Amino acid sequence: MSTISELQRKLNYDETFNCVQCGYCLPACPTYETMKIESHSPRGRINLVKMLAEDKITIEDLREPIGKCLGCRACVTVCPTNVQYGKILEGAKEVLEESAEKTKKQKITENIIFDKVFPSKKWMDFIGNATWLYQKSGLQQITQKTGITRMLPFQLGNFESVISDITSPLSRKKMSRHYPVKGTKKMTVGFVTGCVMDAIFQNINKKTIDLLTLAGAEVIIPEAQTCCGALHAHAGKMDSAKKLAKINIEAFEIENVDYIVNNAGGCGATLIEYDHLFYNEEGWHKRAENFVNKIRDISEILCELDGINFTKEMNSIVTYQSSCHMAHVQKVIEEPLFLLNQVPGILYQEMKDYNRCCGSAGIYNLVNYEESMDILDLKMEKAKDTKASIIVTTNPGCLLQMKLGIKREGLEDRIRAIHLVELLVEAGAVSK
């Protein structure tokens, strides 16, 4: 059992004093908007962490409020005293994870998922290939018609129904580790393929590479890279997150690239905070800082290169649902909007609170499905107000969430959700 001082250190107790309980965070918090409970607001959660550190409440009193937090960091953006809520949240999750009483079966299951499946290229390829076979064999139609998918745990059947066509095993094998520039070379970048992106959205990865090479970037994909560790950090498994971070830092160090590019807001938010994981490890902290300084979202690189023209008129009303982690952690806000407005024939209509979380938040929509759907329903009302026929996102979780929102509203014949990269390719991207 941790002493009070040790518990305070793990909970980042000193950070809690920066919160003056002003309430600026309340209107920005999606869970407070839907639940209307103080303990499910940022300042409420910070106060609970402080009380636990002072031994005034039990760990179990903290479990639900922290478990229901999206971790979207919108509160950090609006905070007038620069409270590091993300640091407090991560500390609380780590303490909760360490104190959780789990059965042997739960421990084995989590070990397989977090330490064997997500970090493994072979496992993720298997999942992608199996999903492709499931779609193409007709099995998907059979399971949906018979209602078998409704029996899946964590409402997985709902998300299974909105997954786009998966890249074939043959196309997956053809993916290279090096893509030369198409035209004049302006830079060399390393590309973060991601675990879920590589397994389920590899077509978006391929289009990302196409855009980069068209714009003037040579693309290198380090073979040794692995899962970014976002899901591990969200679950409070910080030791596992650090192990994965070290693998990725080493993998990209070898390549000596100008930038390290990602196309998933959630992954990017984790990658850009690798230095936080090693604050007390001098050698690794410096290496992590060098890594972090090279992290860029695909939209940032495309804007910097300024090497693409668009040849196709889209003639569509388009709105944008930002990845909250991209907006509030990476601070990438203007670049996706700039790119959208370069596409001919687009009428851009801003969605109210477009940078507010859609309720996806890693695996939040799986473990807190009902709460996630409450947030999604509010998001869809704002999306419908724009009259858009295309909702653009910048993160795989957001993409699936918005597709599910469209389906829940019965609007599949009128609205579609796509990744920003997909829209830019549809718009006939060519080198300048």
Q: Which of 33, 16, 10 is CA-nearest to residue 353?
A: 33
Supply the CATH number for residue 364's domain. Answer: 3.40.50
Q: Compute the distance between CA of residue 106 and CA of residue 402 in angstroms, rounded to an integer.
A: 31
Q: Are residues 131 and 208 in the same domain?
A: no
Q: Compute the distance between CA of residue 217 and CA of residue 215 in angstroms, rounded to an integer.
A: 6
Instruction: At 88, list the tokens.
Output: 């407090």
**pLDDT, the chain, mean:** 94
- Per-residue pLDDT at 3: 63
Q: Is the pLDDT score of 2 beyond 60?
A: no
Secondary structure (3-state) at 208: helix
Q: Compute the distance between CA of residue 14 and CA of residue 259 in angstroms, rounded to an integer.
A: 35
Q: Kindly report, residue by residue over 410-430, the tens digit of the pLDDT.
A: 999 999 999 999 999 999 999
Q: Are residues 296 and 228 in the same domain?
A: yes
DSSP 378: H
Supply the CATH number for residue 54's domain. Answer: 1.10.1060.10
Q: Are residues 126 and 44 in the same domain?
A: no
Q: Are residues 212 and 123 in the same domain?
A: no
Q: What is the mean pLDDT of residues 278-295?
A: 94
pLDDT band at 1 (very low <50, low <70, confident <90, very high): very low
Q: Compute the distance between CA of residue 241 and CA of residue 380 in angstroms, rounded to an integer.
A: 33
- Choosing from 278, 302, 326, the residue where a domain stops is 302
**Which residues does 73 contact at the CB level (< 8 Å), separation at least 6?**
85, 86, 269, 324, 325, 328, 329
Q: Which of 349, 405, 396 is CA-nearest to residue 377?
A: 405
Secondary structure (3-state) at 158: helix
Q: What is the mean pLDDT of residues 129-140?
A: 92
Q: Are residues 213 and 295 in the same domain?
A: yes
Q: Kindly report, residue by residue over 222-248, the tens digit of the pLDDT.
A: 999 999 999 999 889 999 999 999 999
Q: What is the mean pLDDT of residues 250-274?
A: 96
Percent of the chain at pLDDT exceeding 90: 84
- Choosing from 75, 99, 123, the residue where a domain stops is 99
**Which residues does 66 contact at the CB level (< 8 Å), separation at least 6?**
45, 48, 89, 92, 93, 96
C-beta separation of 357 from 74 below 8 A: yes
pLDDT band at 134 (very low <50, low <70, confident <90, very high): very high
**Which residues does 301 contact at the CB level (< 8 Å), separation at least 6?**
189, 212, 215, 217, 259, 261
C-beta separation of 302 from 332 below 8 A: no
Q: Compute the distance between CA of residue 304 and CA of residue 335 in angstroms, rounded to an integer.
A: 9
Instruction: At 171, list the tokens.
Output: 């196309």
Q: Which of 337, 362, 288, 356 is CA-nearest to residue 90?
A: 362
Q: Are residues 285 and 361 in the same domain?
A: no
- Choosing from 302, 319, 345, the residue where a domain stops is 302
Q: Are residues 297 and 319 in the same domain?
A: no
Residue identified by tokens 């990658």 is 271
- Per-residue pLDDT at 149: 78
Q: Kindly report, residue by residue over 199-221, the tens digit of the pLDDT.
A: 999 999 999 999 999 999 999 99
Number of domains in the chain: 4
Q: Kindly report, residue by residue over 340-373, the tens digit of the pLDDT.
A: 999 999 999 999 999 999 999 988 998 999 999 9
Percent of the chain at pLDDT exceeding 70: 99
Q: Are residues 123 and 89 in the same domain?
A: no
Q: Are residues 296 and 320 in the same domain?
A: no
Q: Is the pLDDT score of 304 beyond 90?
A: yes
Q: Compute the distance between CA of residue 400 and CA of residue 162 in angstroms, rounded to an integer.
A: 7
Q: Kindly report, residue by residue over 6-50, the tens digit of the pLDDT.
A: 899 999 999 999 999 999 999 999 999 999 999 999 999 999 999
Q: What is the mean pLDDT of residues 112-132?
A: 91
Q: Kindly report, residue by residue over 179-196, the tens digit of the pLDDT.
A: 999 989 999 999 999 998
Q: Which of 175, 191, 332 is CA-nearest to residue 257?
A: 191
- Identity of the amino acid at 416: R
How many Cβ atoms sit within 10 Å of the Cβ of residue 66? 22
What sections of 256-395 are H helices per DSSP? Answer: 265-271, 274-277, 282-292, 298-305, 324-328, 334-340, 364-367, 369-385
Q: Is the pLDDT score of 174 beyond 60?
A: yes
Q: Is the pLDDT score of 152 beyond 80?
A: no
Q: Are residues 51 and 127 in the same domain?
A: no
Instruction: At 223, list the tokens.
Output: 């073979």
Q: What is the mean pLDDT of residues 292-303?
A: 98
Q: Compute the distance between CA of residue 41 and CA of residue 25 in angstroms, rounded to an integer.
A: 8
How many Cβ atoms sit within 10 Å of the Cβ of residue 52? 24
Residue identified by tokens 């969430």 is 401
Q: Apex CA 125: angle with CA 103 and CA 150, to 5°?
A: 55
What domain range includes position 347?
Answer: 309-431
Parallel, antiparallel or unpaired: strands 390-393 and 416-419:
parallel
What is the phi/psi pair of residue 174, to 5°? -75, -10
Supply the CATH number for residue 263's domain. Answer: 1.20.1050
Residue identified by tokens 């893509």 is 179
- Per-residue pLDDT at 4: 67
Report the helix count and the strand count for the chain, using DSSP H and E.
Answer: 26, 11
- Per-residue pLDDT at 342: 96
Q: Are residues 238 and 320 in the same domain?
A: no
Q: Are residues 22 and 76 in the same domain?
A: yes
Q: Apex CA 379: angle with CA 378 and CA 384, to 5°?
A: 100
Residue identified by tokens 């969200």 is 234
